[in-house]
Amino acid sequence: MAAKKKKVDSSKVNVSQLAKEKGIDPSIVHNRLHRGWDLEQALNKPVRHRKSKGSSTAKAKTTQVVDRTVNETQPDCAEARVFIKEKAHRARVASVLAVTAVVLLLSFVLNGQ
């Protein structure tokens, strides 16, 4: 696969090489460019490192799947998108509440109360 090059000041530059020189994962820079960032901003904006949590990861994946599904099937249906997102949110909240109830029950049982 050929390296992608971006035109800067009438000359082409290798974006992956520039990213590596800046110490940034080239895929991050390519994603930023794909989202419409300019090259300077994509290379110089610090990378946000997010804490890895199961619930936030699950939420992000659910939201991505919902967005992709709704956009592919009914791109102009904003009400359906909101409904599905709210339903997914309620399901996540119910899961958290169920786990909390189990933890409380176990604490009572183990403490003999």
pTM, to two decimals:
0.38
Write the pLDDT tens digit of every residue in 17-46. 888 888 888 888 888 888 998 888 888 888
State the DSSP H helix or E strand holding residue 93, giving kind and residue range, or none if neither.
Answer: helix 78-111
**71-112 pLDDT, tens per residue?**
555 555 677 777 788 888 898 899 999 999 998 888 888 887
Ranges of beta strands (E only) in the chain are 5-8, 11-14
- CA-to-CA separations, 52 to 7, 55, 56, 58, in angstroms, rounded: 36, 9, 8, 10
Contacts (Cβ under 8 Å, ≥6 apart) of 55: 92, 96
- Strand-pairing partners, residue 11, are 8
Q: Where are the domains of the chain?
A: 5-44, 54-111
